[in-house]
Amino acid sequence: MIILGIETSCDETSASVLKDGKILTNVVNTQLIHTKYGGVVPSLASKNHEKLINHIVDKAVNDSKIKLSDIDAIAVTQGPGLIGSLMVGLNYAKGLSVGLDKPIIGVSHLEGHLFSGLIDNSINFPYICLLVSGGHTQIWQVNGFNNYKILSTTVDDAAGEAFDKGARILGLKYPGGPEIEKAAKNGNIKKYHFTIPYVKSNPLNFSFSGMKTALLYLTNKFTQNDLNKELANIAASYQESIIDSLLNKLSDILDIYNTSNVLIAGGVSANKRFRVKSNKLEEDKNIKIHFPDFKYCTDNAAMIAMVGYKKMLIDDISDLNILPFSSIEHA
C-alpha cells in the first residue's frame, strides 16, 4: 500500500511517500521568509505554500521512484494549524483525490506527532507522549491507535512559543529554539533563576508565560553591551528552566500512570540539552524514553503519511467535504 502524505499546517511545506509502512521520501521546505518578522506571518505562509506545494509533491513522488498514479490514498493534515495554510494542503489533496480517483484521509497534526517516534522505531503500547512544539505542550496517554487521552496541557504559552518569544527578547532570530540552544552552549545554567510556575487549578498542567515575563524584566536591567556579555548565561538559565518544567511535569505524570515507555516528540524534542537531561529521568524511573529521529521532530509529512497508512488499514477514510480546523478542540 502506497500513501502520499501532505503537511502544510504552519510554515513547513512537506510531502512524503510511504510504502507498506516504510517511508520512501520525506521532502520538507521551511519558509525562511518569516525570520525577519520574528515569527510566522499567516498570509505569507499560505502564499508560500501555494507557490511550493506542487514542486514539493513532485519531488517526493519522483524521488520515491513511483508514479503518482501508483498511490492508494492521500493523507493530508486537517488541523490544528493556520487555516490559510491548511487550506492549501487540503485543496491540493482534494484535487489529487478527484483527479486520481483515490481516497483522501484527513489527519490530525497532533496525531502525527504522537506516532512520529514509530516511523523508525518500535514502541510498545501503552506509552506516554510528551508533545512539545511551538503551538502545543501536552502530555498524552497513547493506549493504541485511535485510543488517546490528554493528561496535561499548557494554560498559556507552549514551550516552543516560550523559546521563540524569549529569543525575540534576547535579540535572537526566529525560530527561537535553535538560536537559544546555540547561545546557551557555553553558558552557566545556574547564573539566573526563573521560577517554574505552579498551576493551582491543575498542578499537572504547564505554564510558561511567567518565565517569558521574568526574562523581559531581567534583560531590561542590562545595557545592550552588558546583555551581550551575559547572553550565554541568560540563555542557558532560561533554556534550563523550560526543560526542567517539562521534565518535572512528565515525572509527576509517571508517578501516577504506570508505563515503561515514553515518547518525547515535537519540534522542541530536537533540543540536545533536553535529550541529555531526559537521561536522568529515564534512569530514576527505570523507563525507556524514545525520541523521533531529528528529521521527524519538526513538522513533516512522513508522520502524516504514517497515520494515514494506519487509518487506511482500518478503512477510516474521509470525504471531500472535510474542512480545516485551527484548534485542538476540533481534533
Q: Are the CB atoms for 222 and 230 separated by under 8 Å?
A: yes
Estimate the crossing angle of helix 272-285 against helix 224-256, to 10 degrees. Answer: 30
Q: What pLDDT was estimated at residue 77?
A: 98
Among left, alpha and beta (phi > 0; psi -120 to 50; other), residue 198 is beta
C-alpha cell at 293: 529521529
Q: Are the CB atoms for 30 and 12 separated by under 8 Å?
A: yes
pLDDT per residue over 181-199, tens digit each?
999 999 999 999 999 988 9
Mean pLDDT of 85-109: 98
Mean pLDDT of 128-153: 96
Per-position DSSP letters for 95-135, written without gaps between them: HHHHHHT--EEEEEHHHHHHTGGGSSS--PSSEEEEEE-SS
Helix (H, G, I), strand (E, B) or coil at 318: strand
Candidates 25, 34, 31; CA nearest to 6 is 25
Mean pLDDT of 230-257: 97
Cα–Cα distances (Å) from 98 to 73, 95, 212, 266, in that order, read 11, 5, 47, 32
329 pLDDT band, cuts 50/70/90, is low
35 pLDDT band, cuts 50/70/90, is confident
Candidates 115, 101, 50; CA nearest to 71 is 101
Provide, rounded to the nearest whole percent, the portion of the chain with pLDDT above 70: 99
Q: Exposure of 322 by Cβ count < 10 A (0-12 exposed, 13-18 middle, 19+ buried)?
A: middle
C-alpha cell at 195: 521560577
212 pLDDT band, cuts 50/70/90, is very high
All domains of the chain, ordered by start, with CATH?
A: 2-114+296-330 (3.30.420.40), 125-291 (3.30.420.40)
Mean pLDDT for all residues in the chain: 95
Extract the runs of DSSP E, i.e. beta strands, from the chain: 2-7, 12-19, 22-30, 73-79, 104-108, 127-132, 137-144, 147-153, 261-265, 288-290
Q: What pLDDT was estimated at residue 68?
A: 95
Q: What pLDDT was estimated at residue 309?
A: 98
Q: What pLDDT was estimated at residue 275?
A: 97
Q: Rounded distance, CA 286 to CA 167, Å?
A: 35
C-alpha cell at 119: 516511523
126 pLDDT band, cuts 50/70/90, is very high
Q: What pLDDT was estimated at residue 48?
A: 93
DSSP 320: T
Residue 79 dihedral angles phi and psi, to the nearest 5°: 155, 180
Say if residue 330's pLDDT is above 60. no
Q: What pLDDT was estimated at residue 32?
A: 79
> Is the full-model pTM beyond 0.85?
yes
Mean pLDDT of 2-13: 96
Q: What pLDDT was estimated at residue 178?
A: 96
